[in-house]
Amino acid sequence: MPRDIAAEKQLAMQVRREFNRAGLDISRMEVISVGGNISIYGWIRRARGDVSGESVEAKVNRLIDRIKRMPGVRDVVLYARIRED
């Protein structure tokens, strides 16, 4: 069965949008979607000017739980490094 590449690209963009909304710097993050499996690579850190008391790791864990509930997502694997600076 052929893959729907347009749907996978749209799913990856939705994942990036969720990270952006959370106030995280994702300029060095890459999202790959294959068959509903989301892989996240690179570095994730706090966005410039973010003064929230919540740690970056807590934000990322909350986002992964939210992404897992998105339609079309089977699993989320985080290979990215989380920086607290």
CA dihedral 37, 59, 69, 76 (to 10 degrees): 10
Give the mean pLDDT of 31-58: 91
CA distances from residue 13 to 34, 50, 52 in whole angstroms, order as listed: 13, 22, 25
Tell me whether residue 23 is exposed, middle or buried, using C-beta atoms within 10 angstroms of its C-beta: 0 to 12, 13 to 18, 19 or more: middle
Domain 5-83 has CATH 3.30.70.1350: yes
What's the whole-model pTM score? 0.88
Q: 50: closest CA among 15, 80, 85?
A: 85
Higher pLDDT, 47 or 51: 47
The pLDDT, as a whole number, for residue 14 is 94
Where are the chain's structural domains? 5-83
**Average of per-residue pLDDT values in the chain:** 91
Residue 39 confidence (pLDDT) above 60:
yes
